[in-house]
Structure 1
Amino acid sequence: MGTLHLLFNAVTVIFIAATMFTAGLGATVAALRGALTNVPLLTLSLIANMVAVPLLGWGIGALLSLPTASFIALVLVASSPGGPFGTKLAMVQKGDVVAAGALQVLLAAIGSLTFAPTVNGILTAAKVGKGISLDVGALVQTVALLQLVPFVIGLLLRRYAALTAQAWHPTAAAVSNVTFLIVLAGMLLGNWRDVVALLGSRTLLAGFVLAAAAFAVGTLLSTGPPVRRTAMGGVTAVRNAGPALAAIGIAFADQPAILGALAAALLSGLAAALPIATLLSSRRSGPGNP
């Protein structure tokens, strides 16, 4: 089991790095600068991810009267923006991958700083859980290593070795797609007992509703053409599991109930976000669309 766990972690790392490398290969400095200097887009994205979605998680958890473990897991998910699946969803829906990749990395970096205070504040106000103390520096380094560095390398290749970038892009995209499926299967198989135990509970519903609502909020609180707005919806819907897993290990002693609820919330969230992205892709691939 230990070997399988290590293998799953390795595939997850490859998926994250390959996805961000692919996004970088498809980006241009001009388009990237346009996304990061778009003050309205940045401001609205920060509001959506740092304020609206954590409050949604709190509200959904309270509305559905989730048990303590599930409530904590949902708050952890809602308070952790910048999941690398967000960039993958932009690719799936044929959206603005450049804006999605740039803002996803930025949200992950900022989220590593805001995660613990946000969770602490919500759990304290809701009188649930206890204080969380995380190594912020380690989280920032993880984000930089797994997400920012591959994205920048791909971006530099696109700028200074365009032919190489074009040649590598299909292979990198294929690696991203294959490892994406493996990660999804690994999450389901690795936590299937906990997920099955939650079938019929409100935890799966809470994760599904949170992701769908976050997709809508991210799309509405955005600017630009539809391909950019829905790409930001995907980025907002998919949360970053890394800080949440670290918090469970550090502050909650890896409680199985919270780990199972976290897996359930993440998987049900993907079950909500993926069909939306697929539907958008089919519409953009239809007659009259490029």
Structure 2
Amino acid sequence: MDTLHLVLNAVTVIFIAATMFAAGLRATVPALRGVFTDVPLLSLALIANMVVIPLLGWGIGALFSLPSTAFIALVLIASSPGGPFGAKLATVQQGDIVAGAAMQVLLASLGSLTFAPTANALLTAADIGTTVSLDVGALVRTVALLQLVPFAIGLLLRHYAEPTAQAWHPTTAAVSNVTFLIVLAGMLLGSWHDVADLFGSLALLAGFLLAVFAFAVGTLLATGPTTRRTTMGGVASVRNAGPALAAIGLAFSDQPAVLGALAAILLSGLAAALPIATLLSRHRKAPDATPVRSST
């Protein structure tokens, strides 16, 4: 099992890097400028991902009276925005890939700073009796290395060597797709016992509903055309497992029950987000990286 975890971790790293590199190969500087200078879009995305969705996680957990392990896992996931699967969902739904990747990297970077205090506040309010202490510097370095750097390299290639970027993109996208499937299969294989143990506890339903509501919140609290709005919904629906896993290791001593609940909630969330993205992809043409105009 240790070997399986090592292999899955390695494939996950490849998936994240390949996904962000492929997104960078499709991006342009004007398109990114259009995203990062759109103050209404940024403001709404931050409110949705940093405030509304964490509160949703807390509310759903309390409403369903989840066991403490599942409640903790749900709050940790809800408090951690910027999951790399968000960029993948932008591709799956043929949405605004550049805006999705840019927002995902921004949320992951900011989320590495806000995760611990947000999770602490919610767990304290819920009277769980524990605190979350994390190495913020390590989280920021991880986000920079695995997400920001590959995206920046792809962007530079697109800017200075566009023919090379166009030639490399199909292969990079294929690597992203294959490793994505391997990661999903590995999560199921490595945690199916824990997932099965949670049947009847409403934890799976809680994770499913959190993803559905997060998709809706991210879509509603966005600006611009429909493709960009639903892309923001996809980014919001998929949370960042990295800080949550780190919190479990530091604050909960890698408790198997909490880890199993985390895996179950992540998988149930993907089970909600992927079909939504697939349905949205129908009748859409594959987008290209065009400048994003501000809606202001």
Instruction: State the TM-score, normalizing by the size of structure 1.
Output: 0.97
Say yes or no: does 1:104 pair with 2:104: yes
Matches within 5 A, 1:17-96: 17-96=17-96
Could you say which residue in structure 2 is the equivalent of 1:138? Answer: 138
Aligned counterparts of 2:285 and 2:20: Cα–Cα separation in 1: 24
Compute the displacement of 1:285 (Å). 5.2
Does the CA contact (< 8 Å) of 1:72 and 1:129 recur in 2? no
What's the counterpart of residue 235 of structure 1?
Answer: 235
Deviation readout 1:184-230 (Å, 9 max, x if unpaired): 00011100100011123200000000000000000000000001000
**Taking structure 2 as the reference length, what is the TM-score of the superposition?**
0.95
Displacement of 1:129 in angstroms is: 3.8
2 CA distance for matches of 1:200 and 1:124? 26
CA distance in 2, matches of 1:101, 1:285: 18
Amino acid at match of 1:88: K
Q: Percent identity?
A: 77
CA contact (8 A) 2:67 2:201 kept: no
After superposition, give the CA deviation of every residue in 1:161-190 in whole Å (9 maximum; x if it has no partner).
Answer: 000000000000000000000000001110
Q: Which residue of 2 aligns with 1:177?
A: 177
Aligned residue identity for 2:103:
L
- The answer on 1:213 being equivalent to 2:207 is no
Q: CA deviation at 1:282?
A: 1.4
Alignment of 1:238-257 (within 5 A): 238-257=238-257
Could you say what secondary structure the match of 2:134 adopts? Answer: coil
CA distance in 1, matches of 2:223, 2:285: 22
> Is the CA contact (8 Å cut-off) linking 2:113 and 2:136 kept in structure 1?
yes
- Partner amino acid, structure 1, of 2:217: V
Instruction: Confirm or deny: 8 A CA contact 2:207 2:266 kept in the other structure.
Output: yes
Question: What is aligned with 1:126?
Answer: 126
* Aligned-partner SS, 1:284: coil
- Separation in structure 2 between the aligned mates of residue 31 and residue 222 of structure 1, nearest angstrom: 17
> C-alpha distance in 2, partners of 1:57/1:241?
15
One-letter amino acid of the structure 2 residue matched with residue 30 of structure 1? P
Aligned partner letter, 1:242? G
Return the letter of the residue paired with 2:258.
I
Aligned length: 286
In structure 1, give the amino acid aligned to 2:267: L
CA distance in 1, matches of 2:282, 2:182: 23
RMSD: 0.9
| Contact 2:92–2:277, Cα closer than 8 Å, also in 1 | yes
Distance 1:121 1:80 in 2: 13
Unmatched 5+ stretches in structure 2:
287-296
Amino acid at match of 1:282: R
- Matched with 1:187 is 187
The offset of 1:236, in angstroms, is: 0.1
Task: Write out the 4+ residue segments of structure 1 that deviate beyond 2 Å after TM superposition.
Answer: none
The equivalent residue for 2:262 is 262
